Amino acid sequence: MRNVKVMTGIVSILIGLILVSIPFYHEWKTGKEIDRLTQAVNLISNEASAQVMKEEFEYAKDVIWLEIPDIDLNQMVLPETTEYNLNVGLTQIKPNQIPGEGNFTIAGHRGYRGDRFFRNLPDVAIGATVRLIADNKTYTYEITSSQIIEPTQTDILLDEEGKNEITLITCTVDGHKRIALKGLLIT
C-alpha cells in the first residue's frame, strides 16, 4: 500500500512539473521566432545580405513599428493577422491599412509573462501617446478611450468618415472579452 502511495506521489509531481513547464517552453519557442523575425526585418534594410531572409520572410518588408512609451512597448506590427503571426507579434487586423488614414487596427495576444505583446495594454492611460512608425515616418496618436467589449463587437474596427484613429485590441485575462483602446491621430 505504501508503494502505491509513493508511486502516486511521484507521478503527481512529474505531471505537475510537465504542466508547469509548458508555458515556459511556449515562451522560449515564441522568443526564438521573434528573434528570427527581427533579424529578417533588420537584414531586409541591408540590400547586400537580405536576399536569403527576404525570400523566407517576404512580408517582413511591410512591418510597421508600434511604440507605447507609457508601457515601454516597442514592437513590430505584422501586416496580416494569422495564427502564426499572432504567436510572434502584433498584427494588423484589416488588410491594406495605411497609417494615418482611417481606423488603423492592431491585435495582439496578452502573452504569458514579461512585457511582450499586449500584456500591459490595459495599463495605458487615457491621454497616453501611441506612435506608429512606417517608412521612416511617425504617426502619433493620443488615447481617447479604453473599454472592455464582447468579441463580437467588431464595429469598433470600422472607419469613421473624416476620422483618423488607431484601435488596439487584446483579450482580457480570462480570454472571454476584449480590451479595446482607441486613439486619435494628432501628428
For residue range 133-183, list pLDDT tens digits in order: 998 899 999 999 999 999 999 999 999 999 999 999 999 988 899 999 999
* CA separation, residue 51 to residues 11, 37, 41, 45 (Å): 50, 14, 12, 10
Report residue 65: phi and psi, to 5°.
-105, 140
Per-residue pLDDT at 42 exceeds 60: no
In this prediction, what percent of the chain has a pLDDT beyond 70?
A: 75
Residue 88 is among the residues annotated as catalytic for this protein = no
What pLDDT, on a 0 to 100 scale, did the predictor assign at position 179? 95
Catalytic annotation, pick one of 75, 109, 132, 166: 109
In this prediction, what percent of the chain has a pLDDT beyond 90?
A: 47
The mean per-residue pLDDT over the stretch 37-58 comes to 49
Closest CA to 91 of 73, 75, 76, 78: 78
Show me where the domains of the chain are located. 2-52, 63-185
Fold of the domain spanning 63-185:
Sortase; Chain: A; (2.40.260)
The mean per-residue pLDDT over the stretch 115-130 comes to 90
Could you give the CA distance from residue 186 to residue 184 in angstroms, rounded to a whole number? 6
Lowest mean pLDDT among 8-17, 53-62, 85-94, 114-123: 53-62
| Cβ contact 28:111 at 8 Å | no
Could you give the CA distance from residue 86 to residue 118 in angstroms, rounded to a whole number? 11
Could you give the CA distance from residue 24 to residue 95 in angstroms, rounded to a whole number? 32
Catalytic annotation, pick one of 34, 149, 157, 171: 171
Per-residue pLDDT at 30 exceeds 70: no
Per-residue pLDDT at 27 exceeds 80: no
Residue 26 is among the residues annotated as catalytic for this protein = no
What pLDDT, on a 0 to 100 scale, did the predictor assign at position 152? 93
